[in-house]
Amino acid sequence: MGTILRVENLHVAYGKFKVLHELSFEVEEGEVLGVIGPNGAGKTTLMNALTGLVIPYEGNILFDGHTITKLTSDRRCRLGLGRTYQVPRPFEGLTVFENVLVGASYGTGGNERTTAARAIEVLKSTDLYEKSDIVAGKLTLLDRKRMEIARALATEPRLLLLDEVAAGLTDAEVREVMRLVDYLKQTGITIIWIEHVIKTMAESTDKLLCLATGTRLIYGDPQYVMHSKEVEEVYLGVEEE
């Protein structure tokens, strides 16, 4: 067990608008880190910086010993960094199987022979196997969320970033997704999990990181973070708006 991800003094801006500043944290291998914070705290920007969709102007990201700060998304993926989107973005013209196959073939960096088998295995573990041949554009939201996870899983990530997997789902559906997340945890994948609604995730995480106004507000054990004055203030502040 070592540190799999180290974020050092991260600064990200869109044009002149600074979204993240002086953000540092570490994630241990096998850990589930929840990232919470009110709207505009920079959660999704953090995701984008980790996956290479936005390049920080200062600071460093180290993944598994490699400096990945400026690598392209596809290279990060092949190093073992997976991600799901808050609003699922399936390849709508491809079947469910093909969607997962793209991840399994390109995301793992080789070995075409085992690719299809890998895709099928992932589909089975995410309860999508029966829907393999459906065109992804026709899936329900829950299945899209499932496929979002399946696709990321197919790239054989060592660190998986989950961006608000529960958003937009009914309570029953959230439970379905949670089952899937529990399964992910059992496989030993390190997870960084962003959620706007904290009660969904507090029980399933090892550590919580709360962001506010683009930087780290508080970090630590979920119970400690949840009941801290800082988090209470930030979240109450939002509710009052």
Partner 1 sequence: MDAMIQAIIQGILLGGLFAAVGVGMNMIFGIVKITNLAHGDFLILACYLSLFFMGSFGANPFLSLIIVVPLMFFIGFALQATMLNKVLNRGDEPPLLITFGFSIIIQNLLLYFFTANAQKLQTPMLLKSISITDTIRIPVMYLISCLAGIVIILLLGVYMKNTYMGKAIRATSDDNEAAQLMGVNIKTTYGVAMGISMMTAGVAGVLIGILFNFYPNSGSTYLIIAFAVVVIGGIGNIYGTLAAGIIFGLAQVVGGQLLGASYQQLIGYLVLLIMLIVRPQGLFSK
Interacting residues with partner 1 between 132 and 151 (CB under 8 A): 151
Interacting residues with partner 1 between 46 and 85 (CB under 8 A): 51-53, 72-75, 77-78, 82-83, 85
- Specify the 3-state DSSP secondary structure of 206: coil
**Bridge partners of residue 207, in order along the sequence:** 33
The residue among 159 and 210 lying less far from partner 1, judged by its C-beta, is: 159
Binding residues for partner 1, how many (CB under 8 A)?
34
Q: Please state the closest distance from residue 123 (CB atom) to partner 1, in A.
A: 15
Where does this chain touch partner 1 (CB under 8 A) — which range of 6-14, 104-112, 171-179, 205-213?
104-112
- 8 A C-beta contact, residue 61 and residue 6: yes
**27-49 core/surface letters (b: 16 or more CB in 10 A; e: else):** beeebbbbbbbbeebbbbbbbbb
User: For partner 1, which residue of 14, 22, 67, 93 counts as binding (CB under 8 A)?
Assistant: 93
- Specify the 3-state DSSP secondary structure of 23: strand
The residue among 113 and 199 lying less far from partner 1, judged by its C-beta, is: 113
Q: Does 205 contact partner 1 by CB under 8 A?
A: no
The residue among 121 and 206 lying less far from partner 1, judged by its C-beta, is: 121
CA atoms within 13 A on the CB side of 122: 28
Longest CA pairwise span in the chain (Å): 56
Q: Does 101 contact partner 1 by CB under 8 A?
A: yes
User: For partner 1, which residue of 70, 89, 124, 175 counts as binding (CB under 8 A)?
Assistant: 89
127: Cβ–Cβ under 8 A, 6 or more apart, which residues? 146, 180
| Residue 150 CA: distances (Å) to CA of 91, 117, 181 | 13, 14, 11
Burial label, 240 (beta-carbon count in 10 A; 0-12, 13-18, 19+): exposed
Where does this chain touch partner 1 (CB under 8 A) — which range of 55-63, 109-117, 123-131, 192-200?
109-117
Amino acid at 184: L
Q: Please state the closest distance from residue 29 (CB atom) to partner 1, in A.
A: 21
Q: Please state the closest distance from residue 136 (CB atom) to partner 1, in A.
A: 9
Q: Please state the closest distance from residue 159 (CB atom) to partner 1, in A.
A: 13
Q: Which residues bind partner 1 (CB under 8 A)?
A: 51-53, 72-75, 77-78, 82-83, 85, 89-94, 98-99, 101-103, 105-109, 112, 115, 151-152, 154-155
